[in-house]
């Protein structure tokens, strides 16, 4: 069996948006993707793809690079990421979860949901 791994940053960002808008459980039921740029071109520094709102308040942003999607969660979430295809960075804007594959999207969604529950 051949296993395909999604490593295109734009596609990873699209998968993340689909998960955020498609899951209607717990706090994710009140999450929406706003200000989306459907024609976003990834850049080395990360091009803005869309914002994430929870109950009409912006809680994060997603930027795409050629190989990753970067979810910045505003505030100080308590993260427990334990994957080799997700990295966590702290910045002045918040905590950045970097998905390096399509499979990593589920972990980002779980972390955002946990942050919103607290």
pLDDT under 70: residue ranges of the chain = 1-4, 76-81
- Classify 9-117 by CATH class: alpha beta
Q: What is the pLDDT of residues 59-77, one digit of tens each?
A: 999 999 999 999 999 876 6
Helix pair 105-117, 9-22: axis angle to 10 deg: 40
């Amino acid at each position: 069996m051949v296993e395909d791994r999604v490593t295109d940053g734009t596609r990873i960002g699209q998968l993340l948006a689909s998960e955020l808008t498609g899951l209607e459980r717990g706090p994710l039921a009140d999450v929406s993707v706003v200000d989306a740029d459907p024609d976003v071109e990834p850049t080395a520094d990360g091009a803005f793809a869309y914002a994430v709102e929870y109950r009409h308040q912006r809680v994060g942003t997603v930027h795409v690079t050629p190989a990753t999607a970067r979810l910045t969660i505003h505030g100080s979430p308590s993260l427990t990421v334990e994957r080799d295809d997700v990295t966590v960075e702290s910045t002045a804007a918040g905590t950045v979860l970097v998905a390096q594959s399509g499979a990593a999207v589920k972990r980002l969604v779980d972390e955002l949901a946990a942050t919103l529950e607290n």
